[in-house]
Structure 1
Amino acid sequence: MALPSSKICHDKDLDERTEWKEIGCGGFGTVYKVRHKVRGFVAIKRLWNRGTIDELYKEAECLTKLSSEFVLTVYGIYNGNKFPQFREGIVMEFMEKGSIETLQKDLSSPPPLPLAVRLAYQVAKGMQYIHSKDFVHHDLKPSNILLDNDFNAKLADFGLSRKTTSVFPSSEQSEEGTRGTIAYIPPEAFAKNYKIIRSFDVYSYGILLWSILSGEEPYPGKPVSLVKYSIDRGDRPDVSLCLVEEKEKKTAVIELMEHCWKQKPSDRPDFNEIVQKSEPIFSLHKDGIDAAIHDVLLKLRQNQSGSSSQFSQANAAELVPSPTPGNDVVDRPSDKVQQPSNVVETEDLTEEEKVAIVDDIREAVIQNNTHVMAIAEDLKKREMIQKETYSEIEAKETNEAKMRELYKSLRAADLVKVAFYDALKKHEPNILKSHGDT
């Protein structure tokens, strides 16, 4: 695939001060969070094997052709020296909240029903668009549905996508070699020379709905051969796991889910029908989405310290060291901060830039703040920190110790750091003004 020069990202286009943070692994390589000088944070997917370079270019081209509000945006191809043995990578939109899979792991439960319904609807809209362009995704699953800062869903990982007229090579038909993710593959796809059609994605969407509603993985712990056997004979994941809570509110979405994973492809709906059926379900729950997101953010903050997902680990702030005994200091006026020669303008910043600044000036804020409790009060009013956290901050004896305690709460999510930045700008503008390029 030939790309114009404007679509090539070189090392000089990236901020050399920020490290490459691994945020996930896919079938073809590793994904990193990197700061671009113009775009802010981006995701770069690097290859593991140079033999898959054609697949990488194919995925980039596919994402470009399928540009949509429900499909991950691709900015171009990375060509640099960060990893000399593997120079190429895809430069993509960075999705702040990871994927549906990481959300499930971090919550240790399914998302609240209004958010779950919105995710299902947005995926359906994205798939409707993809199919209208004569493409199938061919690997629809929770890890390939990415989430932005407001938990909106976008389809990603098009390494297996293709035109609907393609055929599986016979060499890919063994139990171990079938391309795609075994638990999401429909029964007919295990046959030799299976022609990929849209109903493949419809079946996968049904299993995806089950995973969203249950918060579980389908067929956990079962060997590939047993999963294939179960799918062939018509077994599906346990629907009762989706009905632990709010059973009466899930009737319509459960019916849609079971319709999608029918054994015969001809019995399944297409995505035009799926969108038509899911739209009224989404409308019914629409008013509860803001409250659902609020509940999710609170639970993520509570669970952050025990989070196992790569995304959460990559985006968590560094552990803030406890104050050293005997190192207590008196309050210092903020106008004593040394002013660097290069001062950056702090107006009209993106959320990513605010997060980066909060991380960069941590020690300056800890050592030079005078309004820590005012900042904490603002965060408490916005429900970004809990009352218990506020009390722990208040209990510390010095401003420095208070701010160190407050910074610990900023590990919960980038959204909290953005709120902290806004409070800092209100109460400690001189500290922000002292932040420079160096």
Structure 2
Amino acid sequence: MLCSEKFGDEDLDQWTRIAGGGFGTVYRVRHQEKGFVAIKLLHQNTGSSDALRKEADCLKKMSSPYVLSVYGIYEGKPPHDNTEQQGIVMEFMERGSIHTLTTDLDGPPPLPLAVQLVYQVALGMQHLHSNKFLHHDLKPSNVLLDKDFNVKLADFGLSRVTASVSSNIQQSTEGTAGTLHYMPPEAIDLNCKATRSFDVYSYGILLWSIFTGKEPYEGKLFELVAFRIQKGDRPDVSLLLEEKNETKNKMVELMTRCWDGDPNKRPTFNDIVDATKRLFSVHKDGIGAAIQEVLSKLVHNQSQRSSQYHQTNVAASDPSSTEGNAVPNDIVDHPRFAAQQTSVGFGSRNLTEQEKTTFVDDRRDYIIQETTDAMAIAKELWEMGMIHKEMYSSIKANKKNEDKMRALFTTLRQGNTVKAAFYDALMKHNPKMLNS
């Protein structure tokens, strides 16, 4: 067993949820000796712990400056759920992922830092492929960043030496469209055998995401995306070409080679490392200034969001406000009713799509546990065309309401539009839970 070191509850405290995905939930946890670590727990309905141990072993085998380090296996009862669970204990990445970076920046990172990111991802992928490993799920949320914005590849839940990708496609047909957006057209064929060119295609889409700060095909339905990818559609590069910037022109040239419809025409990661290394050498001296620019913008954006959040809650609880459901002053003056009014004001006011998305993302676990009518919500999304028939049937097949909700949450990876529609359906069918 590669990951022989065991971690128990006696050395761990300060559990904070930081992310959730198809395989499990990730927590930041303080370890008495190592400081803060990340612990990834399997969802209870994923069954065997083989997948978790496999991922831990993959990470351990692939030790590299550009691959996330794994410390061992957690076995214990986390404070938020007093049941026996297992998890992977990994190094904690202070800066989140490329996905969180572009989200927090509201756009792409400065050019020198973007070039460093794609160069380091290429080095990490070159390392995996040289060791005869495929990643199978290369996308912004699986590229983590340390405190200095250096890259660490993560989430090897689908990695393998060589195998059919049918299981990956099956997951996509069940709603993991975020993964579909980074998958090559040949992967739509369930008989396809995964090769290195699979990861190269994903890298090309990742390049586009980094340099635009956007998600590909955002808000588009699963069936349409799958159909158009097979027909040769790719993300729009026109915005990158408008600036007449030589580096961006070369990046567009590289990404279009990577996402070529013919796998045999895609470059290898040896080729990609050579190409990105040349561009990295041009921008290397500007990386320090780029990081300072990013840090300043992150602080500014966080300050703005905090200010907007404060103003929103003040407006929602203000009895004189015309927004929301105003009530007589004598009722609002009573603390109990004032608290209720604040809650109703928040739930009933017109949130933006991004606010609804943030609300759903931040409260995933609570919503799954507390929502009482998953099928009503699923049916509404199905009737709106937000989820496809197979996914609706899959949700319906689950016996427990909580499992239905967990399956329903996988459809939300299609983008903010679907998450906003989910929020609206949640407000319609479970307003008391949402307002609480």
Please state which band the TM-score falls in when normalised by the shorter chain: 0.5 to 0.7
Distance 1:143 1:244, change over 3 A: farther
Unaligned stretches of 5+ in structure 2?
310-436
Distance 1:206 1:86, change over 3 A: farther
Q: Percent identity?
A: 58
* Partner residue in 2 for 1:59: 55
Distance 1:86 1:222, change over 3 A: farther
Distance 1:140 1:306, change over 3 A: farther
- In structure 2, C-alpha distance between the alignment counterparts of 1:87 and 1:207, rounded to whole Å: 35
Question: What pairs up with 1:149-298 in 2 under 5 angstroms?
Answer: 149-163=147-161, 165-169=162-166, 172-173=169-170, 176-177=173-174, 181-243=179-241, 245=243, 247-298=245-296
8 Å CA contact 2:2, 2:57 repeated in 1: no
* Partner residue in 1 for 2:74: 78
User: Which of residues 20, 27, 37 in structure 1 aligns to 2:22?
Assistant: 27
**CA drift at 1:27:** 1.7
Question: What pairs up with 1:359-370 in 2 under 5 angstroms?
Answer: none
8 Å CA contact 1:111, 1:212 repeated in 2: yes
- In structure 1, C-alpha distance between the alignment counterparts of 2:6 and 2:240, rounded to whole Å: 45
8 Å CA contact 1:46, 1:86 repeated in 2: no
Moved more, 47-56 or 37-46: 47-56
Amino acid at match of 1:59: E
Summarize deviations over 1:62-94 as a string: whole Å, max 9, x none: 000001000000000011121343410100000
Distance 1:2 1:103, change over 3 A: closer
8 Å CA contact 1:128, 1:275 repeated in 2: yes
Summarize deviations over 1:335-380 as a string: whole Å, max 9, x none: xxxxxxxxxxxxxxxxxxxxxxxxxxxxxxxxxxxxxxxxxxxxxx
Distance 1:88 1:115, change over 3 A: same
* Partner residue in 1 for 2:9: 11
Distance 1:307 1:63, change over 3 A: farther
- In structure 2, C-alpha distance between the alignment counterparts of 1:298 and 1:3, rounded to whole Å: 39
TM-score by length of 1: 0.66
Distance 1:166 1:287, change over 3 A: same
Distance 1:87 1:129, change over 3 A: same
Question: What pairs up with 1:13-162 in 2 under 5 angstroms?
Answer: 13-14=11-12, 16=13, 19-49=14-44, 50-82=46-78, 83-162=81-160
8 Å CA contact 1:100, 1:145 repeated in 2: yes
8 Å CA contact 2:15, 2:28 repeated in 1: yes
Number of matched pairs: 303
- In structure 1, C-alpha distance between the alignment counterparts of 2:172 and 2:195, rounded to whole Å: 20
RMSD of aligned alpha carbons: 2.1
- In structure 1, C-alpha distance between the alignment counterparts of 2:171 and 2:148, rounded to whole Å: 40
TM-score by length of 2: 0.66
Amino acid at match of 1:65: K
SS in 1 for 2:214: coil
- In structure 1, C-alpha distance between the alignment counterparts of 2:49 and 2:208, rounded to whole Å: 34
